[in-house]
Amino acid sequence: MLDRPNPINASVVQGFLPDEDRRSFTSYFPLPVRHGMTVGELATMFNAEKGLGVDLHVIRMNGYERTDWYDETGLSWVNPSPNIRTLNQAALYPGVALVEGSNVSVGRGTDKPFELLGAPWINAKTLAAHLNSRKIQGVRFVPVDFTPSGSRFKDRQCHGVRILLLDRQALDPTVMGVEIISALHKLYPRDFELERALPLIASRSVFDSIRNGKDPVLIASQWQDRLEEFRKLRERYLLY
């Protein structure tokens, strides 16, 4: 297996872990939302921890540093997904994607997927003001209207925010994601379908804390112990 860089660097580990009973296509292994590993390291860990018995040989990258963002590797950008077209979108994805299972557009069907978030029932200025008041490090929210040409709310005008990434090193996208979901639940309890976000959140404790109106900063403090356990497991499989 030829290893490849983690586009948003392989040194930072952030976010909560899924519950053991919520494994799915998007939750194959109990990883935090931002795991800080390369695909070769992940394959090695899956093979060992799940007892797959694969005769796996990972070809390491030359000159790779764990702290490298993709634009620091000297490699040409290749979209890892049709809707992740820039490194900024990749950096925002671990947070914004947490909400896309619900009745909110995350910009699919526009030229700025995962930089936009909205719905017909949102007040753009209210949402932007609330999120900016939360002082989320590394980003700012600008009110915007947009009409997706596909996916959720196709051909319907949505009101919401454009997320400006100001400092990718300062941003914890997982905290930002919880902040966004919490804001939608607080501001639009009748319109926002929180229950539909549970499969992608995949953590009952995080979901219940959001539903009960707990401050997102306190929610993030609750997942640190499990995150530290994962960091210790991760150490066994790091190649760089």
SS3 label, residue 183: helix
Predicted confidence at residue 240, as pLDDT, reads: 97
pTM: 0.95
Average pLDDT over residues 138-167: 97
Q: Mapped to the 3 state alphabet, what secondary structure does 66-88 carry? A: CCCCHHHCCCCCCCCECCECCHH
Predicted confidence at residue 104, as pLDDT, reads: 98
Of 104, 101, 177, 97, give the one whose Cα is nearest residue 139: 177
Q: Above pLDDT 90, what percent of the chain?
A: 96
Q: Is the pLDDT of residue 32 over 90?
A: yes
What does the pLDDT look like over 172-203, one tens digit per residue? 999 999 999 999 999 999 999 999 999 999 99
Q: Which two tokens mark 140?
A: 């700012």
Distance separating alpha carbons of residues 128 and 142, to the nearest angstrom: 6
Residue ranges covered by each domain of the chain: 20-235
Sign of CA dihedral 39, 46, 26, 13: negative
3-state DSSP helix/strand/coil % of the chain, to nearest 5: 40, 10, 50
SS3 label, residue 176: helix
Residue 20 CA: distances (Å) to CA of 154, 167, 211, 227, 237 = 35, 33, 21, 14, 21
pLDDT-derived band at 22, boundaries 50, 70, 90: confident
What does the pLDDT look like over 204-228, one tens digit per residue? 999 999 999 999 999 999 999 999 9
**Strand ranges inside 115-154, DSSP E:** 116-119, 139-146
What does the pLDDT look like over 64-106, one tens digit per residue? 999 999 999 999 999 999 999 999 999 999 999 999 999 999 9
pLDDT-derived band at 23, boundaries 50, 70, 90: confident
pLDDT-derived band at 166, boundaries 50, 70, 90: very high
Domain 20-235: assigned CATH number: 3.90.1150.140
Average pLDDT over residues 33-53: 97
Q: Mean pLDDT, the chain, as a whole number?
A: 97
